[in-house]
Chains A and B, each alone.
Chain A
Amino acid sequence: MNARPALATAALLLAAGGCVNLERSRDLGNPDVPAATLAAQVCSNCHGLDGNAPSPNFPSLAGQQKDYLEAQLRQFRGHNRLDPAGFEYMWGLSRKLTDAQIAGLADYFAAQRPRSPGPAAPALAEAGRRIFKDGLPDGNIPACATCHGEHGEGNATFPRLAYQHADYLYKQLVVFQRTDERPEGSVMKTIAHGLSGADMRAVAAYLQAFPD
């Protein structure tokens, strides 16, 4: 039989595949791959190329605080963030990232423009707005805005919350309230202690829509 087409194909594949392709690499173990390349080739699959995650399974990173993003990636890399969404998806991806790559990824996503994933029911959003702005004085729960900013924009390692997926926010509030899986956010355990499920749903819905 004529083996030339197959041999030529195999040679082409090996020649083309043998090169390191730093500008379009998906290699998470090569410290030379630029952060922007990793953001586009790997992170974008779940978090969106512009950091606005299409699926509520994954948090939006657009406009997130750089310090928070860096801290979280280090927490994942060091296996210090133990919530399932963290270890199922992020431990492995972050395990070989260098400090420089982590800083570059944080810069990349912090610089993206956040967009709301969708509106919230008005009554729910109003209940959430009150918790965000005023807290629940009866439950000794401070206003979220105190640390996360009047516009939900965050501050250093206090994350941006505005325009985050409501489903993600609700599940993380549950993690803070009921587990010790995010030790770096232990302050949230105290704060979220008195929130009911309905309170958490309301504030999450408000933050996703963030109408003002």
Chain B
Amino acid sequence: MERGTASAYSWVRPGTPRFFFHLAAWLIAAASLFSGEAQALPLFARQTGQNCVACHAGGQFPALTPYGRIFKLTGYTIGVRNPIPLSVMIQAGMTKVANKTNGSLVDPNGSGGNGAMPNDNYPRDGLFTVSQASLFAGGKITDNLGLFAQWTLDPYSQQNGQGKWVSHTASDQFDLRYADRLINPGRDLIVGVSLNNNIGTTDVWNTFNNPFQMVPSPIGPASLQANVFTGPQYSPMLTQGNLNAGLNAYAFWNNTVYAEVGLYRNANGIYSIMSQGVSSDNTTTLKGYNPYWRLALNHDWGANSAMIGLHGLNARVYSDPTNASSPLIRNDDVGIDGQFQHILDPHTFSAQFSYTRERQRYDDALWNPNNPAYTGSYANSSNTIDLLKLNATYIYLAKYGASLSYVSSQGSKDAILYAANPITGSANNRPGTRVWIPEVFWTPIQYVRIGFQYYKYTQFMGGSTAYDGVSSRSAKDNDLTFLYLWAAY
């Protein structure tokens, strides 16, 4: 139930009446499928009647227990069909940047920057802010069919011409599954298909393309946002909330071998239920059908569970999401990831890692100055980015927790893509960013979580001091404190 980042797309238009019409129609249709008595717990807990700790490690989102993984892989169909297949969630918080004064400009009229520091880079800094409110619908529909769908309202989606914030509602996560399980003493085979809207939404280990933890509200410069991902912009594998449409098939054999393949395309036309609230121009991000794959080896023993896996994607991404004839960026992603869990009441310990290498190759017009249609987007014909994520979490009594994360994104040098620019640019034209994120949190009741994170940057856009190429700003000036409240019902 982690947030998606549909709202991170500044070009998204505000919610339309058409969206709300579709939402209402879907909810009525979904509600008509359900009957029975009401229970007072969030969506899936109402369906199984179980506590959050049954499916979520230490009762914390989004990490799943071995049982939670089976619940998802068997299509959200365990339990009693839910009469009110809805839940709501709200996230609020406060972020504070270490240094809002941006440092003096090295060369106010330099060619790399825009000549002056932006006046208001941190518009909601230090202010308590409701960052998102979500509506979930879904759960068990039939013996083999289940749904997990999320719509999200972002109160601070963008600022209008007068500087006022405009809210925006859009599809967030969508996962409609058909699953079957063939189990007998000699064999246990789960097979399924998923219609979903984001790479990573289908995965049950949450190791790649999913934040390990709660993330700061997406307000302020993009580079200061949650995933501290500072690489190329168009990456369905390395960024979330892309709202594509995927049809995936998967199998999990003897709780040991997991394999999944999927094809992702634009979520428009008949698939637009998965990208409601995002204009059709803006969902034109992928050309054709783009293959995704995932392999994992899982082993459970005693109170422990371990997984090691591989993941990959080959995607053709339009350089201009509003133009289906714009030059293409070809992404080739391959990565390795793993997880260890030890769950024995009252202790929950988990450790995760994910390392993904992405190679982007650009159509000639994007980088070759001799091409008549040259756009000047890149200095190189191809770039690479390496994203490493590490996390260790301990939770006591499903109430008190602490975690430590480390994220590093390193990439090839590109003088245009990573040009000097206030705050988000690079003096040495490299995207390299490293951050440590310690966190403590408290879950007084299972529907509420309060937490505090500190983002300690040791490197930002290729450097530690005077990194952006136009000012004296240091990586540590971007250090972030984040206090958050999460609640769901």
Hey, which bits of chain A sit against chain B, CB under 8 A? 1, 3, 6-7, 9-10, 13-14, 16-22, 24-29, 40-42, 44-46, 49-50, 54-57, 84-85, 87-89, 91-93, 95-96, 117-118, 167, 171
Contacts and interface: CB of A to CB of B under 8 A. Distances in A.
A21 B145 CA distance: 11
A50 to B, nearest CB: 7
Given A20-B142, A29-B80, 19 more contacts: A3-B269, A10-B195, A13-B145, A13-B193, A16-B144, A16-B145, A17-B145, A26-B78, A26-B181, A28-B79, A41-B181, A49-B188, A50-B185, A55-B302, A56-B344, A88-B54, A89-B50, A92-B50, A95-B80
Interface string B105-126: 0000000000000000000000
Contacts of B48: 28, 92-93
Nearest to B54: A89
Interface stretch (B66-74, B401-409, B417-425): B66-74
B303 A57 contact: yes
Contacts of B50: 88-89, 91-93
A209 to B, nearest CB: 14
Size bracket, chain B contacts: 35 or more
B60 to A, nearest CB: 15
Contact of A45 (B67, B77, B140, B185): B67
A56 B383 CA distance: 48
B466 interface: no
B344 A45 contact: no
B182 interface: yes
Given A55-B66, A88-B53, A88-B54, A17 B142 contact: yes
Given A13-B193, A88-B54, A54 B143 contact: no
Given A13-B195, A88-B51, A26 B77 contact: yes
Contacts of A50: 185
A31 B385 CA distance: 54
B2 interface: no
Nearest to B183: A40
B36 interface: yes
Contacts of A96: 80
Interface string B166-185: 00000000001010111111
A151 B304 CA distance: 29
Contact of A54 (B51, B71, B245, B301): B301
Contacts of B140: 26-27
B178 A24 contact: no
Nearest to B41: A92
B281 interface: no
Nearest to A13: B178
A18 B142 contact: yes
A24 B50 CA distance: 21
Closest 8 CB pairs of A and B: A92-B49, A17-B145, A29-B80, A88-B51, A3-B270, A6-B270, A21-B143, A1-B269
Contacts of B301: 54
B271 A6 contact: yes
A20 B143 contact: yes
A144 to B, nearest CB: 24
Interface in B181-203: 181-185, 188, 193, 195
B79 A6 contact: no
B238 interface: no
Interface in B297-349: 300-303, 343-345
A118 B301 CA distance: 11
Contacts, number: 130
B22 to A, nearest CB: 15
A111 to B, nearest CB: 12
Contacts of A42: 78
Contacts of B141: 17
A49 B183 contact: yes
Contacts of B77: 26-27
B247 interface: yes
Nearest to B269: A1
B81 interface: yes
Given A13-B195, A44-B183, A25 B143 contact: yes
Contacts of B53: 88
A44 B176 CA distance: 24
9 contacts: A1-B268, A16-B144, A54-B300, A57-B344, A89-B50, A92-B50, A93-B50, A95-B80, A167-B303
A201 to B, nearest CB: 15
Nearest to B79: A28
B143 A55 contact: no
A27 B193 CA distance: 19
Contacts of A54: 300-302
Contacts of A46: 67
A45 B77 CA distance: 13
A150 B77 CA distance: 43
Looking at A14, A21, A57, which has the most chain B CB atoms within 10 Å of its CB? A57
B300 A55 contact: yes
A13 B54 contact: no
Contacts of B269: 1, 3, 6
Nearest to A40: B183
A117 B51 CA distance: 26
A26 B183 contact: no
A115 B143 CA distance: 32
Given A57-B303, A93-B50, A9 B247 contact: yes
A44 B51 CA distance: 18
A41 B183 contact: yes
A13 B142 CA distance: 11
Contacts of B181: 24, 26, 41
Contacts of A93: 48-50, 79
A133 B66 CA distance: 37
Looking at B143, B176, B180, B184, which has the most chain A CB atoms within 10 Å of its CB? B143
Nearest to A76: B49
B51 A19 contact: no
Contacts of A89: 50-51, 54
A89 B59 CA distance: 12
Nearest to B52: A88
